[in-house]
Chains A and B, each alone.
Chain A
């Protein structure tokens, strides 16, 4: 694994390194690989890099369950899950490209440094040929950049910020999860139908990149519907009590509160908003409403009955009734005893998509795999017909608009799907200003050797 950078100086150094190798003939020197970590044996190693400690540890645990399930299915175990419903039929339960799938796991700690360290150890020590996972956009962007440099494929886990496939997109990185723009575009029509076009919105936004892109997306699409944004306030990420941000909302003349928060932030800000009586309040002669652009069922549990009736969007939900979703819920539920989360779903799907792309490309070479994924159209993985767009490596599919259930049947039954927004409504051009504009570029794929 001699790192041969294809520039003048790098080439010379690489030659020098090979020279050293030749001068030590008694040792076998590895380095003849065509790309980073080319699997030469009978197995292939994937790296599952998920948060195991820190605030997103439970989502990470669910992602890991999905990966283990995917590996089981790829190797021909279990009931095969979505392998049977997937429109591409190259996966036959004999591993990937005939090689048995093995995996290593690591802890991102939801910190970019730790995530990169863990990913590097998978690449350098365990010979992983693909890295996947993660539960936040900061980590996704950091690990994606690393995989680009190291020459392996990165299949993003849960990451919702526009930047991952926007201004920070990379040729070696792929995202199945939806993004802020799509949430905004899908939510706006539903919101205007439910609450009217004459609304005054107040945004509370987590003060970091994901918050900014989500606020911008929701703002632009609701304003296009005729809403007015009276105020947008940034809240510190480490905030746990949002009372001082919630209290001024009612005096502001707004009649809708948009909470651009995720995870613990969302649980606490929503709970606080309900405690301050916002749900019951009247403003401008209308009922006061709250919107949560990105829902996570795992997190919604933390907010309990407070989510009832509140609109949001989600990438996938276990109550979907298409064959693929049913098959996935069945095999996940049978194995673990509870339904999968959207994080688990996207990770499972990403693993299958990667495996299928390798089979179709006939190689583990990241460039070949990337080419197989680019422009790939598929169905039968729970989101309906989906396109992996070549220009930015973002999946385009229908977006689910959901609402918190008033009377949940059981502890998992927290959200109900109110509308499936067709993909045409959430489509945008690759050089959309929210996506980094014309400057954003994938670069070229890096096979690492």
Chain B
């Protein structure tokens, strides 16, 4: 169906279900309970999950298929974001032109960077992409301040021109919208003590993510995808058969750059603001981490990795001592303090430490990332069942490097 084989279609279906029902899936704990801290079903984080999912899917098309490790992908996301915000300032607050222009501009930029960087391979390629991204960051922060707003970045202002929009009603702030539907508008549903938020922006981003995911599956399964894998496994053999790997790699690079631009455009659409630190090398490193953490070269892995990292960043960092004390208040005082003190270095301001430890554990014990973890668990269950059965959707993915 949809040009996919049965397994892929099933995977797409599961991902579709999960993204559409995310407000429920991510909010399993009732409001006001101690565990509500771990709920992730609020618009901002849900939007980030799918946006960084897109970013990681695109990155995986380059890294997972061709093996070229770009260390400067955040630059395309940043350039896309700047393009999108300028569309919002000059043309209209409608997100469609912003997103399209973001993809186009990021694509053009990646043609230039890719054309130059792909003249080298291996770590030399990585350093070239890193150099381009860091140059973009440094310039955006300083010399290009008139275009980028420097450190403070850009936001839509009340007195921007916005040629296509009718004048704002006095007192209104410019709001990103889709033909009038504000990206911020939410519908809240309360069932018992559970609260579920359905956010317009999230669903726009989620639909875009599903389309990109579908496109990624098609690329993975296409002859073009096969060519890209050939680039990874043996470029020389490919050359001997009379094929020039360069156009294929460049195409993959540009496609993944456009994915990054799409993610950048969507970020602006969801939260209309851009700052240069979006292009810093740690941001590029983050998408590498997401992809490897989830499972390189697998379809669903990068999305899982993106989710895991954003979850830690947004949930773990918000736990403070007060909350810890309230969790362990049932314990005797001395024990409570001891446990709080032992836990404290890993939460709140210590979330980086937790992140570092998780990376190390995953890389040491699960070289294939979270997807391999899922496969192993599935394998265990299957051995118990003793029947072959159908492998779970995520397990059919490509083997990781």
Contact = CB atoms under 8 A, between A and B. Distances in A.
Nearest to A143: B273
A197 interface: no
A205 B297 CA distance: 46
A414 to B, nearest CB: 25
Contacts of B278: 113
Contacts of B181: 13
B42 A207 contact: no
Contact of A105 (B44, B267, B348): B348
Interface string B8-50: 0000000000000000000000000000000100111100100
A53 B349 CA distance: 6
Contacts of B352: 53
B256 interface: no
Nearest to A26: B191
B222 to A, nearest CB: 34
Given A146-B271, A236-B138, A5 B349 contact: no
Contacts of A210: 151
B314 A117 contact: yes
B45 A121 contact: yes
A390 interface: no
Interface in A191-209: 207-209
Contacts of A118: 314, 317-318
B186 A2 contact: yes
Contacts of A444: 170-171
Contacts of A30: 188, 190, 195
Interface of B: 39, 42-45, 48, 138, 141-142, 145, 150-153, 155, 158-159, 166, 168-173, 175, 177, 179-182, 184-191, 195, 197, 267, 271-273, 275, 277-278, 313-314, 317-318, 320, 322, 348-349, 351-352
Chain A, interface size category, equals 35 or more
B180 A10 contact: yes
Contacts of A107: 317-318, 348-349, 351
A446 B317 contact: no
Contact of B159 (A8, A114, A121, A439): A439
B182 A125 contact: no
A93 interface: no
Contacts of A114: 313
Contact of B188 (A4, A29, A150): A29
A26 to B, nearest CB: 9
B155 A441 contact: no
A236 B142 contact: yes
Given A3-B184, A207-B142, A27 B175 contact: no
Contact of A112 (B168, B180, B273, B322): B273
Given A2-B185, A10-B185, A21-B187, 15 more contacts: A7-B168, A7-B169, A30-B190, A111-B277, A118-B317, A120-B42, A120-B44, A142-B152, A146-B273, A161-B152, A168-B152, A207-B141, A208-B150, A237-B151, A443-B173
Given A1-B188, A234-B142, A446-B173, A10 B155 contact: no
B152 A106 contact: no
A281 interface: no
B172 A104 contact: no
A24 B278 CA distance: 41
Contact of B317 (A5, A106, A120, A212): A106
Nearest to A168: B152
A388 to B, nearest CB: 21
B30 to A, nearest CB: 14
A138 interface: yes
Contacts of A5: 172, 175, 182, 185
A53 B316 CA distance: 13
B134 to A, nearest CB: 9
Nearest to A137: B152
Interface string A238-258: 100000000000000000000
Contact of B186 (A1, A28, A60): A1
A57 interface: yes
Contacts of B180: 9-10, 12-13
Contacts of A441: 158-159
B182 A13 contact: yes
Contacts of A34: none
Contact of B175 (A17, A149, A238): A149
Interface string A51-79: 01100010011000000000000000000
A52 B175 contact: no
B172 A124 contact: no
A402 to B, nearest CB: 26
A439 B320 CA distance: 42
Contacts of A21: 187
Contacts of A121: 42, 44-45, 314, 318
A237 B152 contact: no
B151 A137 contact: yes
